[in-house]
Structure 1
Amino acid sequence: MNTFRVLKTAVTDVAATTTQPGATAARTGVLNLSKGFTLQTPNFLAPTSRGVVPHLSPDNLEKNTGVEGVYVALEDFIEKAPQRVPPLYTYPSTLRSFISLPKSTFLVLSPRRSPAITCPKANSDANLSILTSVGFRDLPIKDYVSAIVRLEPDIVLGIADIANTVSPGKNRVQKMAMRTEKWLDELLGRVYECEDGSKDGEKKTVPAVFAPILPLEKERQRFYLSHLVENVEKLSGLVFTSADFVDVVPEELGGLPKLQSDVMGGPHQVLEMVGRGSDLFNVGFVGATTDAGIALHFTFSADEVGDGEEKLELATDMWDAKFATDLSPLDEGCECYTCKVHHKAYIRHCLEAKEMTAWVLLQIHNLKVVERFFGGIRKSIEEGWWEKGRSGFEKKYKSEMPVGTGLGPRLRGYQYKSVGGDKKLNEPAYRSLDSGDEDEL
């Protein structure tokens, strides 16, 4: 059985953290999943690319990081549909087995990546528009719903019908709410239909279903929220595609864990959302900083309080030439594999040589920093210094990440939003020998 229990709520000035009086403040909790996973919250998920945390093999993920859950998108695996049946659909085992996910890590399955690239074609009543590695496609809602039973994720996210415009009109809002409600009902019906089913004599476990909250004001999705309240017993959590609408949740749904599916703004955004009652975070900013060759080094502690005069950087650009002979670890006192075994000069050398080991080591370190960060948040709430810690963090660190000055790994199409006339972001793999460049090669 999937359950969530709030352990402690921080004593906080609610008015300072939210526009909704009486909204949930920062809290700690424990999420128990039916397949035996237990997660202390607030906590984070690592986003994946085709089921793999970028730069890390499954054994490195398990051995050298504290990642407890990963965020997997179904659109990563269906690039040939509907012309050809995707291999994932014919694989004789679960999604966990297909991507070789460690047994100690739970799996969150979403229809789309986060943040999702806007598709030129709008959704329809029966299909969700997605972006695959070979172009835009339609994902039939029935395929996603049926895939849940076969793939057996630990948490499954409901499908939200998100408009392509920032401010959808009245008719589009009604369509968004009706479709999202209909798709959620199909998902819940399919999941609970199999609750008492069996396969080869073995009883199936029901994945935790997280219902999507639309990026709309409370009044504009009032009927959809009422539907969620009516079905609260079947829900295990809520998922948000926008950090601006956490406060629309009715009081009856306040006891469910809240997942932020898109956190690209860094630790300051995390702290803001924790202060408004969010519990789980898909930390996309970690992979972005690793790709840029940047090493994180922020902490969340009651002892480290800034004076507000000269703020520190949240991270360090390892492409800087000053690290060429620096034999110190990325972060003094860090216990990650990277800091215990290697030094800055080696990592910078690997970056300059375009050796993928550089990004492996940076990813291990950056995930460790985020793990310690969330551990500090939980400790602050449990021990009663949450407000002091958050205030000190805001005074101590700059709000923006530094910009990487080097060329990282080749970018994939879903990693950036293209605009007409943009130059190519990747260097060409080959050069013409007829253009007089022979001496440069």
Structure 2
Amino acid sequence: MNTFRVLKTAVTDVAATTTHQPGATTTAAAARTGVLNLSKGFTLHTPNFLAPTSRGVVPHLSPDNLERNTGVEGVFVALEDFIEKAPQRVPPLYTYPSPLRTFISLPASKFLVLSPRRSPAITCPKANSDANLSILTSVGFRDLPIKDYVSAVMRLEPDIVLSIADVANTVAPPGKNRVQKMLGRTEMWLDEVLKVAGGTGVAVFAPVLPVEKERQRMYLSHLVENVEKLSGLVFTNVEGVDVVPVELEGLVKLGSDVSVGPHQVLEMVGKGVDLFNVSFVGGMTDAGIALHFTFGGDGEGEEGLEMATDMWDVRFATDLSPLEEGCECYTCRVHHKAYIRHCLEAKEMTAWVLLQIHNLKVVERFFGDVRRSIEEGWWEEGRKRFEGRYKREMPVGTGSGPRLRGYQYKSVGGEGRLNEPAYRSLDSDDEGGL
């Protein structure tokens, strides 16, 4: 098992060991368990997950429901959610006299990860510069000065801060000159964060860029030189894990966006990733879909199963069974499918609250079984069984979800309204109007 400590990292009793040749620059990482100990007393057993937030809140859940009805231990918060009034007006976040966790009413038992941008981040039309990061706020695109993000680390007091990566806003692979800019800026911005975070107890996670290892060799060498100041690494894709030098293997590895589902999680766990920002959960909840996959169990003879169920389906209108038999979440203990489908049809927000509670419980149970499989020695067997049992693709919801926020869409032109009007004229003869 790995023991991760803030600012300095020690490795003890590795659960899934690999051998390294002298002078090797990368590792053949394997699934591993660990314990992340943060300076404020938070302890997290890994592999584990973070819940993404919208403006500091896990979608559909009030802080008391998050505390009482979920096993979420950490949340992923983006600074770009809060600074739409800058620079013309000081954002309320900066005038509030207490740290960020108090501002968003985060329960004391949850730890907070601060990122400059949401994950996945919406592509911005303007490129980054040495002094500014392009972001998308609730009122449009703007620049976030790097110095403002660095100062926010001191002011907002997160438990973990993600340093800034200069990732190109293009589909095509970046050219040689662009890669050099990416590496230079990312290294420079990391140094600024480390200067401020040093001695504060804030754990710093450095980004690993999504380019080939040879093209970022100098940057990775810089990370090795500063390994004693780092607590973790951040990855935006699976391939990035393969470029990590041996000297950095003791750091926590965070997958900043898991949008595909549990198959993507298992692929990254197999490469030694420890933490996951599970964005697919919120997407399923918004679509009115209930998750029901499990990692444990024998599963003999089962294959091609769906990992989730669309609760808009009319067959659930009179179904009085829980979302998942045997599930111990609040939703399954108290309510049934017919009630949840009724709430969806009525556009009652209780539907999404109950679905989010259940879906997070499914993910919590999944990660618990993954940890147990590594510790007990049946990880590889369990992974193969899971991959054979479940389809990789999640089902698509057939109903309309809750009202969408603009940043949930890709920034492309020519689209119509994101949401239908809530009211229409009674004089209109459209849709059978009077």
Relative distance call for 1:311 and 1:21 in structure 2 (3 A) is farther
User: Which secondary structure state, in structure 1, belongs to the residue aligned with residue 241 of structure 2?
Assistant: helix
1:40 aligns with 45
User: Which secondary structure state, in structure 1, belongs to the residue aligned with residue 295 of structure 2?
Assistant: coil
The 4+ residue runs of structure 1 with deviation greater than 6 A are 11-14
1:401 aligns with 394
> Which of 323, 338, 357 pairs up with 2:316?
323
Correspondences of 1:134-173 after superposition (within 5 Å): 134-165=139-170, 166-173=172-179
Deviations 1:44-90 (A, max 9, x none): 00000000000000000000000000000000000011111101011
User: Would the aligned equivalents of 1:46 and 1:282 in 2 still touch at CA under 8 Å?
Assistant: yes
User: Would the aligned equivalents of 1:6 and 1:28 in 2 still touch at CA under 8 Å?
Assistant: no
Correspondences of 1:372-391 after superposition (within 5 Å): 372-391=365-384
| Number of aligned residues | 423
1:305 aligns with 299
User: Would the aligned equivalents of 2:258 and 2:276 in 1 still touch at CA under 8 Å?
Assistant: yes
Correspondences of 1:356-371 after superposition (within 5 Å): 356-371=349-364
1:109 aligns with 114
Is residue 176 of structure 1 aligned with residue 182 of structure 2? yes
User: Would the aligned equivalents of 1:4 and 1:29 in 2 still touch at CA under 8 Å?
Assistant: no
Relative distance call for 1:325 and 1:213 in structure 2 (3 A) is same
- The offset of 1:111, in angstroms, is 0.2
Correspondences of 1:6-405 after superposition (within 5 Å): 7-10=13-16, 22-165=27-170, 166-192=172-198, 195=199, 205-301=200-296, 303-307=297-301, 310-405=303-398
Taking structure 2 as the reference length, what is the TM-score of the superposition? Answer: 0.94
User: Would the aligned equivalents of 2:26 and 2:246 in 1 still touch at CA under 8 Å?
Assistant: no
Relative distance call for 1:43 and 1:4 in structure 2 (3 A) is farther
User: Which secondary structure state, in structure 2, belongs to the residue aligned with residue 345 of structure 1?
Assistant: helix
- The offset of 1:425, in angstroms, is 3.6
User: Which secondary structure state, in structure 1, belongs to the residue aligned with residue 195 of structure 2?
Assistant: helix
Give the whole-Å Cα distance in 2 for the aligned partners of 1:208 and 1:340: 38
Relative distance call for 1:43 and 1:112 in structure 2 (3 A) is same
Give the whole-Å Cα distance in 1 for the aligned partners of 2:412 and 2:353: 30
- The offset of 1:4, in angstroms, is 5.9
Percent identity of paired positions between Structure 1 and Structure 2: 80
Is residue 414 of structure 1 aligned with residue 407 of structure 2? yes
Relative distance call for 1:325 and 1:164 in structure 2 (3 A) is same
Report the residue type matching 2:174 in the other structure: P
Deviations 1:138-190 (A, max 9, x none): 00000000111110000000000011123111111000000000000011011
User: Which secondary structure state, in structure 1, belongs to the residue aligned with residue 374 of structure 2?
Assistant: helix
Query: Which structure 2 residue ranges, 5 or more long, are not aligned?
Result: none
Give the whole-Å Cα distance in 2 for the aligned partners of 1:74 and 1:403: 30
Taking structure 1 as the reference length, what is the TM-score of the superposition? Answer: 0.93
User: Would the aligned equivalents of 2:26 and 2:244 in 1 still touch at CA under 8 Å?
Assistant: no
User: Which secondary structure state, in structure 1, belongs to the residue aligned with residue 362 of structure 2?
Assistant: helix
Relative distance call for 1:154 and 1:361 in structure 2 (3 A) is same
User: Which secondary structure state, in structure 2, belongs to the residue aligned with residue 175 of structure 1?
Assistant: helix
User: Would the aligned equivalents of 1:208 and 1:235 in 2 still touch at CA under 8 Å?
Assistant: yes
- The offset of 1:249, in angstroms, is 0.6
- The offset of 1:10, in angstroms, is 3.5
Report the residue type matching 1:220 in the other structure: R
- The offset of 1:242, in angstroms, is 2.0
Give the whole-Å Cα distance in 1 for the aligned partners of 2:221 and 2:133: 24
User: Would the aligned equivalents of 2:27 and 2:246 in 1 still touch at CA under 8 Å?
Assistant: no
Q: Aligned Cα RMSD in Å?
A: 1.8
- The offset of 1:419, in angstroms, is 2.8
Deviations 1:186-215 (A, max 9, x none): 1101111xx2xxxxxxxxx41100001111
